[in-house]
Amino acid sequence: MSNLSRDTNKLELHRSLTPSHIDQLVALFQTEWWTKGRIKADVEKLVQSSGPLFAFIDPHNDELVAFARAMTDGVYKAMIFDIIVKETWRGTGLGGVLMNTVLNDPALVDIKHRELYCLDDMVPFYEKWGFATAAAGLNFMRKSEG
Ligand SMILES: CC(C)(COP(=O)(O)OP(=O)(O)OC[C@H]1O[C@@H](n2cnc3c(N)ncnc32)[C@H](O)[C@@H]1OP(=O)(O)O)[C@@H](O)C(=O)NCCC(=O)NCCS
């Protein structure tokens, strides 16, 4: 499929997911290193208890082609997670549309610190939207269960 037939203007933004979209999200998660292995039961919980979520759907075939989600306290902090464009739609501008949509969402636009974490090779991508490494000496820490 050429990029011309992948017109981001034709996509719909959905803020909640149908059962079919959840199945497609589980499949999309299997394609990325940090989301691989997520199972449907857990993804259903994620969708129910997550903050704002953003799914771009191709209405032509009801295909979920991009996803992101966020969690926020409404004032100081918002964390943005799971920013993924389906491989067949990459390079079409959809990643940019997704980032602009998330950052301009009323629930997120005025939050003091909007944060995400990423590998080194994604830094140039996020810098395009004004993200910068938070501060020297600041560590992202994690306590894992299971
Ligand atoms: C990262 C991702 C969302 C980008 O989506 P995309 O639809 O290909 O991006 P776009 O076509 O909208 O590109 C927007 C701009 O970002 C640039 N860009 C895209 N991927 C980039 C990357 N990995 N590093 C730096 N710049 C990148 C494009 O060149 C374009 O720049 P331009 O506006 O100056 O032309 C997509 O590649 C993806 O889903 N990757 C796998 C999942 C992932 O790694 N997500 C991020 C986890 S932290």
**Ligand 1 pocket check for 72: Cβ under 6 Å:** no
How many whole angstroms from 110 Cα to the centroid of ligand 1?
24
CB 26 within 8 A of CB 40: yes
Alpha-carbon span 66 to 76, nearest angstrom: 27
Task: Write out the residue range of the structural domain in which residue 114 sits.
Answer: 3-127
Alpha-carbon span 65 to 95, nearest angstrom: 10
The tokens describing 52, both together, are: 């704002």
**Ligand 1 pocket check for 35: Cβ under 6 Å:** no
Q: Is residue 120 part of a domain?
A: yes
**Ligand 1 pocket check for 123: Cβ under 6 Å:** no
Alpha-carbon span 65 to 88, nearest angstrom: 8
Q: Is residue 57 part of a domain?
A: yes
Alpha-carbon span 134 to 61, nearest angstrom: 40
Identify the CATH number of the domain in which residue 54 sits: 3.40.630.30
Per-residue model confidence (pLDDT) at position 87: 97
Rg (CA), the chain: 16
Q: Per-block average pLDDT, block size 10, for the chain (146 residues)?
A: 78 97 98 98 95 97 98 98 98 98 98 97 97 92 89
Per-residue model confidence (pLDDT) at position 3: 59
Whose C-alpha lies nearest to ligand 1, atom 24?
125
**Ligand 1 pocket check for 68: Cβ under 6 Å:** no
Q: Is residue 136 part of a domain?
A: no
Q: Is residue 137 part of a domain?
A: no
Per-residue model confidence (pLDDT) at position 1: 56
CB 53 within 8 A of CB 65: no
Q: Is beta strand 12-14 parallel, antiparallel or unpaired with respect to 113-115? A: unpaired
Looking at the CA of residue 91, tell me the nearest atom of ligand 1.
Answer: 11
How many whole angstroms from 146 Cα to the centroid of ligand 1?
32
The total domain count for the chain is: 1
Q: Is residue 138 part of a domain?
A: no
Task: Provide the 10 A C-beta neighbour count for residue 79.
Answer: 16
Q: Is residue 33 part of a domain?
A: yes
Per-residue model confidence (pLDDT) at position 2: 58
